Chains A and B, each alone.
Chain A
Amino acid sequence: MSFKLRLKSPRWVIYILIFIALLFVPRVLSIHDLMLFQYGLTFAIVALGFNLLLGYTGLLSFGHGAYFAAGAYSVAMIAKYLPEAYSIEILIPSALFFSLILSVIFGFVCVRHTRIFFSILALSLSMLLYALLFKLYHITGGSDGLRVPLPTMLGITFKGMRRPEFLSGTYYYFLLGMFTTSFLVMKGIVSSPFGKALQAIRDNEVRAELIGIRVKRFRFYAFIISGMFTGLGGALWTFVNGHVTADLSHWVFSGEIVYMTLLGGFGTFEGPIIGAMIFTYLKLYAMGNTQYWMFVIGGTLIVLVLLLPNGVAGAFSILWNKIKKKSS
């Protein structure tokens, strides 16, 4: 049957080749570029989670920075208040846990709505977290934020090591492992019956309810899963960045998550990953070359929206189909 063949399809061959190539990235890139690459990988996890909501469920959240911040701050707060528990094996589950809690609370309010109302609510709620992180500065460090030291990993300490060394060694492979796991889990989710149900809800809410899908509950589940992926990305990002601030929960940061997802194209599974990578380089490049980087990013965004509505991945797949048609 055709579905047995799909596992052996060229798509999976490409995935495996890319994975093998990723194993050798630290040998090829300079330390600076490798760090950028790792920013990209963490955002790729975020974009995967974000796209479950946008691309597959049809809900545009302008407040995903909140779950990113939840993941990032769980790491930073444990570093500050519970240093004896500061090891990756504890940090990752607790980041997942706190982003779960936050997305349960916020999601409960948001999923009662759709479209613009949903977007504004998600945005406003993330600003609530921002205000809390900002105002409770004696706990959270406010706008100065908190410093994040290097964690221990399976009992190994990295004391005395500089962050770039840490990042180009063990941590890269750990991050790659987390990314691959996220990729496979998300791939499983979107092609599962549950994932198909989300797409059904996106396409036609009324009919989905009619064939016995509990629409609001499923949206809620999608919101939570999406929030947890985002939180995981946030936690992993923290180790790369070494510093967290309240701005992570600001809606402008959430806007950047939306941007990278659209840049790659939310109509495809891989698009947001590509978008996260391109966005990371674009932003750092713009920031490195001009003080008006927002102008560059905003301008690119506008051009993109007007000219490339399906994102980079979408444009490629259209091009690919054209080539295929011509050659056949």
Chain B
Amino acid sequence: MWIVYTLNGLYFAALLFLISLGLNIILGVMGILNLAHGSLYAIGAFIAAWFIIVIGMKVPQIFLYFILLSGLVLAGIVGFLIEKSLIRFMYKRTLEYQLLLTFGALMLLEDVIKMIWGGQAYYASAPFDLLGKVNLFGNVYPAYFLFVMLITLIAGILIWLFMSKTKLGIMLRAISLDREMATGLGLDIDRLSTFAFVLGAGLAGFAGALVVPTTPALLGFGHEPLILAFIVVVVGGLGSLKGALVGSLIVGFTRSFGIAIFPEIELPLLFLIAGIILVVRPQGLFGR
């Protein structure tokens, strides 16, 4: 069974990594904690589920996996609109207003989801069922979970290459290190911020789309992942990409083994571990 718990831990960590990476990019580049991040995740889940239900039967099966990208695209578009219409005006405002604005956006988006998709659950398990199960050292394990890990690994490597090798990525990192200096260097902060927000939103939406074949999309779909992502960010350190990775692994494994061993207090256990880490390192593992 330990293999299964370990794999589950990696699977949770993979999803959390996508969500908290987006949260952390936005936090690092823009200095804004996006409370609506969970809603973007939910949007990704709903659109992917809806596509799979509506056109899933009419397309070749392999195409189902490309549908999952719709979560990334739609959440990215919504992120673009939010950034351009609202967050744009918040850079010079104080923390309270930035947080409240994203909180307002969260309430708005929750009801927009309700308006479009109604209150019912969307089941879209086809991509999960089609892959079936694999036998790993005598344990039967859903292949879809392995698929998600693989995709996340690829996405993680792509983001890492992007952040360290491309000019755009280096500019983004420059802003998150020192905003004033970056302005002094003549970087186009406005456009880079938009880009960071779209990227972060897209990653959240993509995570939502990846989850939806395993769990039906429901109202309030993004609440729990958002809280877990917050814990990842706090444990890993604000705005640190390395922190997002390590934090995701810690939270993912704690959840997986917590659920297996102490199912009742799995979440409190997580907080306990996060609390201990914070007492030892108040700024988080990789925080500055």
Contact = CB atoms under 8 A, between A and B. Distances in A.
A and B touch in the complex (CB under 8 A): yes
Interface of A: 54, 60, 62, 109, 112-113, 115-117, 119-121, 123-125, 127-128, 131-132, 135-136, 250-252, 255, 258-259, 262, 266, 291-295, 297-299, 301-302, 305-306, 309
Contacts of B95: 60, 115-116, 119
Main secondary structure of the interface of A (DSSP, over half): helix
B254 to A, nearest CB: 13
Contact of A131 (B33, B90, B267): B267
Nearest to A118: B95
Contacts of B221: none
Given A135-B267, A251-B227, 12 more contacts: A54-B96, A60-B95, A109-B279, A124-B274, A136-B264, A250-B223, A291-B114, A295-B107, A302-B105, A305-B93, A305-B100, A305-B104
Contacts of B227: 123-124, 127, 251
B177 to A, nearest CB: 17
B77 interface: no
Contact of B271 (A116, A128, A291): A128
Contact of A292 (B89, B115, B233, B279): B115
Contacts of B234: 117, 120-121, 124
B160 interface: no
A309 B90 CA distance: 11
A298 B279 CA distance: 35
Interface string B148-185: 00000000000000000000000000000000000000
By size class, the interface of chain B is: 35 or more
Given A115-B95, A298-B105, A259 B111 contact: no
A301 B96 contact: no
A262 B96 CA distance: 9
A302 B230 contact: no
Given A109-B278, A292-B114, A305 B101 contact: yes
A249 B78 CA distance: 29
A298 B111 contact: yes
Given A109-B275, A121-B234, A258 B100 contact: yes
A301 B33 contact: no
Nearest to A295: B111
A60 B102 CA distance: 14
Nearest to B112: A295
B132 interface: no
B100 A262 contact: yes
A175 B105 CA distance: 34
Interface of B: 27, 33, 35, 86, 89-90, 93, 95-97, 99-101, 103-112, 114-115, 223, 227, 230-231, 233-234, 238, 264-265, 267-268, 271, 274-275, 278-279, 282-283
A89 to B, nearest CB: 33
A117 B288 CA distance: 12
A298 B238 contact: no
A276 B196 CA distance: 36
A137 to B, nearest CB: 11
A309 B100 contact: no
A268 to B, nearest CB: 15
B128 to A, nearest CB: 27
A120 B268 CA distance: 16
B230 A123 contact: yes
Contacts of A128: 267-268, 271
The residue in B95, B103, B279 that gathers the most chain A C-beta atoms within 10 A of its C-beta is B103
The residue in B89, B97, B283 that gathers the most chain A C-beta atoms within 10 A of its C-beta is B97
A258 B264 CA distance: 31
Contacts of A121: 234, 278
A59 B274 CA distance: 21
Contacts of A266: 96
A262 B97 CA distance: 9
Nearest to B287: A117
A127 B229 CA distance: 13
B96 A298 contact: no
Nearest to A293: B111
Contacts of A250: 223
A135 B270 CA distance: 14
A302 B108 contact: yes
A35 to B, nearest CB: 24
Contacts of B33: 116, 119-120
